[in-house]
Every structure is written in C-alpha cells, then in structure tokens.
Amino acid sequence: MKLKYLKLKHWLIAVGAAALGMNVGCERTMMCEYGTPEATYHVKGRVTAPDGTPVPGIEVSQNWAPESSNRQPRDTTDEQGNFNTTFYKVCLNAIQLTFSDIDSTENGSYCDTSLNIPTRDIPLSGGDGHWYDGEGTVNVNVTLTAKS
C-alpha cells in the first residue's frame, strides 16, 4: 500500500512540475530553464587580414543553435570588413561566433576563426528594470589567419 502511495505522490509531483512550466523556451533560440536571465545582444566589429586590411565577404554566424529552424540570421562583412549582428533572447553564458571565408579566393583565402564572448562581460541596459532583461552591445575586432 505504501509503495502505491509513493508512486502516486511522485507522479503527482512530476505532473504538477510540468503544469507549472519548469522549462520554458526562449524566443528564437534554444530551450532555457525557467528563471534564467535572458537578454538581446548586439555584436559589432571588424574583420581584418594579418596586415590590417579589411576583409569583405566573411560570413559571421553563431554556432550554438540546436536546430536549423532556430538559427539566427547570418551576416557577411561589408567592403570595410564591418559586421553587425543581433542575438535575441540569449540565455547562455557565452555567444559563440564563427567567421568563415565563403568567397573562395576572391579576397584572399583565410582559415575559419571562432570567437567566444562571455555574456557576463557585456553590460546590460534598458529592459523593464528586472534582473533578467535588457540589451547589451559589444565591439570585437577579429584578425583572420591566411591559409598557406
């Protein structure tokens, strides 16, 4: 009798937890735990060659979305090597960017480069005054390595 009571108790706890939404999804990104801080991050920067010249045509993408339907838009550097990308409702500890040379040898040939930006290092502003909301902007400069 006591075993049936314990099974029923555990089942009720599990159903209650699910009904209360122990896990909720972040908009446009991956699943986040309820109560996890989330914010919108703007990442701006410039991509250059080892000699300091700007490199246009480099794809800037994030590599942490689990499903292709949740992927953030990919950006490409402009003629001055500048990029500007936004990540909405990020609830992770870091933003991981990958810089890929997608134009073959048109502007040189460069190795893919990854950059890990800890979100705790990006100051937040705005939001509705709560600890879990806001926007942050970070500027980064990336120097690519030429393929040999």
pLDDT in tens, 88-97: 766 777 888 8
pTM recorded for the entire structure: 0.66
- Residue of 141, 136, 140, 76 lying closest to 103 (CA atoms): 76
Distance CA 47, CA 35 (A): 36
Q: Residues 16-71: pLDDT tens digits?
A: 666 655 543 344 444 556 656 677 888 999 999 999 999 999 999 876 544 433 44
User: Mind listing the domains of the chain with CATH numbers?
Assistant: 25-143 (2.60.40.10)
